[in-house]
């Protein structure tokens, strides 16, 4: 399809069902040419819907996503693109400011800084280096119709916009953005540009079933080095290592993002953004919310460690 025809078709497709005012104000900004291992639209997630069985969802790395938006003066919860590892390719349809953050997938553009893209520029992610999730924010944010108060994609329930090659994305209207005279670039502070190849020990708080684990099991969890399994995804990160055991029989109750569940095989699972709202496995602890974003950037095969924070009587 010719670019002009593709643009018209994309604009018509995305305008369907939207208010006239929204259609008039939005403008096409980029086209998805290849999905690679995965591309989705995300924001801060669906807060307040867990009691209805709807997962929180949203960006896997809130730290990186927030910085991408912040570099462009976007609202912190503006919708952006989340890329999984490698293989994606997009084409820009007009001049705009963007910011990249998160994982390094050899895209050829600098991470953690704002930059101007021009009509016809191609951005692709050919080879993964470090981290898992890369974020691309555009000036003003992506113009996506909210579902249950969020623009984030939750594919199992068909919430949000499920992307496919050829899709054209609109951008929200935004005030003019430019760098001050004499300023060459705008980038995140060096301390905020995380090195995902060297994660810290992740902090863990006690959970409702912490006491069902013996002192030996808890000591083993915190003293051991765990490996992120290749079976990890947006629902949960599976860890492999020395098997743990609990005296508690499985029973269902609410589960929060960051909870560390231990199934019958003794290999922990950290609940991530698309985790179900109910779970039955004993919960050893909860990863600190500020550390969960960094854990999300740990690749399969990467080694991680945990450290207790708060009151752990069994470890005293």
d(CA 292, CA 276): 17
- 83 closest CA partner among 121, 30, 136, 129: 136
d(CA 286, CA 251): 18
Between strands 202-206 and 306-308, the pairing is: parallel
pTM for this structure?
Answer: 0.89
Domains of the chain: residue spans and CATH: 3-192 (no CATH), 202-315 (2.40.100.10)
Span 206-222, pLDDT tens digits = 998 899 899 999 999 99
CB 34 within 8 A of CB 60: no
Per-residue pLDDT of the chain (316 residues; tens, 9 = 90+): 444 344 344 443 333 333 444 444 568 999 999 999 999 999 999 999 999 999 999 999 999 999 999 999 999 999 999 999 999 999 999 999 999 999 999 999 999 999 999 999 999 999 999 999 999 999 999 999 999 999 999 999 999 999 999 999 999 988 887 788 777 788 999 999 999 999 999 999 999 889 989 999 999 999 999 999 999 999 999 999 999 988 777 778 899 999 999 999 999 999 999 999 998 899 999 999 999 999 999 999 999 999 999 888 878 7
Burial 135-167 (b: 16+ CB within 10 A, else e): bbbbbbbbbbeebbebbbbbeeeebbbebeeeb
Phi (first) and psi of residue 168, to 5 degrees: -110, 130
Span 46-57, pLDDT tens digits = 999 999 999 999
The residues, ordered by sequence, that sit 6+ positions from 182 with a Cβ below 8 Å of its Cβ are: none
pLDDT of 92: 97
pLDDT of 143: 95
């Amino acid at each position: 399809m010719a670019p002009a025809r593709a643009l018209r078709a994309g604009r018509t497709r995305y305008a369907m069902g939207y208010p006239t005012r929204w259609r008039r104000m939005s403008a096409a900004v980029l086209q998805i040419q290849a999905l690679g291992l995965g591309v989705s639209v995300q924001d801060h997630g669906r807060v307040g819907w867990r009691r209805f069985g709807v997962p929180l969802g949203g960006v896997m790395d809130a730290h990186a996503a927030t910085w991408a938006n912040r570099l462009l003066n976007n609202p912190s919860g503006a919708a952006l693109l989340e890329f999984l590892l490698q293989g994606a390719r997009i084409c820009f349809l007009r001049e705009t400011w963007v910011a990249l953050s998160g994982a390094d997938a050899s895209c050829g553009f600098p991470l953690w800084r704002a930059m101007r893209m021009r009509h016809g520029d191609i951005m692709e992610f050919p080879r993964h280096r470090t981290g898992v999730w890369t974020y691309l924010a555009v000036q003003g944010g992506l113009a996506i119709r909210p579902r249950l108060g969020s623009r984030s994609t939750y594919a199992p329930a068909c919430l949000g916009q499920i992307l496919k090659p050829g899709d054209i994305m609109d951008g929200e209207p935004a005030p003019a953005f430019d760098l001050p005279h004499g300023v060459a670039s705008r980038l995140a502070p060096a301390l905020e540009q995380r090195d995902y190849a060297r994660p810290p020990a992740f902090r863990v708080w006690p959970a409702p079933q912490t006491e069902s684990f013996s002192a030996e099991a808890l000591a083993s969890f915190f003293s051991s080095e765990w490996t992120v399994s290749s079976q990890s995804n947006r629902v949960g990160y599976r860890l492999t290592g020395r098997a743990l055991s609990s005296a508690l029989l499985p029973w269902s109750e609410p589960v929060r993002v960051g909870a560390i569940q231990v199934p019958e095989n003794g290999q922990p699972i950290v609940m991530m953004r698309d985790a179900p709202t109910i779970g039955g496995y004993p919960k050893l602890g909860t990863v600190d919310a500020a550390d969960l974003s960094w854990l999300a950037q740990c690749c399969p095969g990467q080694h991680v460690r945990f450290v207790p924070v708060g009151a752990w009587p069994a470890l005293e």
